Chain A
Amino acid sequence: DIVMTQSPDSLPVSLGERATINCKSSQSVLYNSNNKNYLAWFQQKPGQPPKLLIYWASTRESGVPDRFSGSGSGTDFTLTISSLQAEDVAVYYCHQYYSTPYTFGQGTKLDIK
């Protein structure tokens, strides 16, 4: 199984400041035949299902604000929120869809400092 490890577990950030969440996979999720990283980021607010933000490690889902960006390749990935807004308070999960069993990071709880 591919183990996904996020850091930090908790991240307090001031409004308007940058938030950075890291994710590391236990093996590469880069599929050589198409040169795509099978890595997604989800946002989850209390009482709601996960919402897809980023896929292919860096492609923003339609309707997601451009303050959200993803980067990285292979085994190391980052989700960046360039200027934190109050509505961004949530738990963020990285997720590999390279192979089953699909797995997720443990989550990073982002809140306002």
Chain B
Amino acid sequence: EVQLVESGGGLVKPGGSLRLSCGVSGITLSIAWMNWFRQAPGKGLEWVGRIKGKPDGETTDYAAPVKGRFTISRDDSKDTLYLQMNSLKTEDTAVYYCAAEDSSNINDYWGQGTLVTVSS
């Protein structure tokens, strides 16, 4: 059974940093394509970024609002995906979800999410 468990959310001041983690089980993280999505309170779903699997070069791409501020990485030995968030803005306040993308680019497994609040 595939399980994704996010952690690391919390309250941070504007301009601050936070690192989210996503513990992965039931899939081989090193070859998996993994995504981060977010959902602002009462709003819709937004893609944040993706990291490809090792065989595909582990390349990353990001949504325009976070490019240059957020970085996706992973530690395959710990079966953990990360989202490093720097220079946080109030508009980054959201529940952040990690998701696993299958070979057909479908994000069919999602974690429960972790809330990030950016406020002074």
Contact = CB atoms under 8 A, between A and B. Distances in A.
Interface of A: 38, 40, 42, 44, 48-52, 55-56, 61, 93, 95, 97, 100-107
A100 B61 contact: yes
Nearest to B112: A49
17 contacts: A38-B105, A42-B45, A44-B45, A49-B111, A49-B113, A50-B97, A51-B110, A93-B44, A95-B45, A100-B47, A100-B50, A100-B61, A102-B35, A102-B107, A104-B44, A104-B46, A107-B44
Q: What DSSP secondary structure best describes chain A's contact surface?
A: loop
Interface of B: 35, 44-47, 50, 61, 63-64, 97, 101, 104-108, 110-113
Q: What DSSP secondary structure best describes chain B's contact surface?
A: strand
Contacts, number: 48
Contact of A52 (B50, B108, B113): B108
Contacts of B64: 101
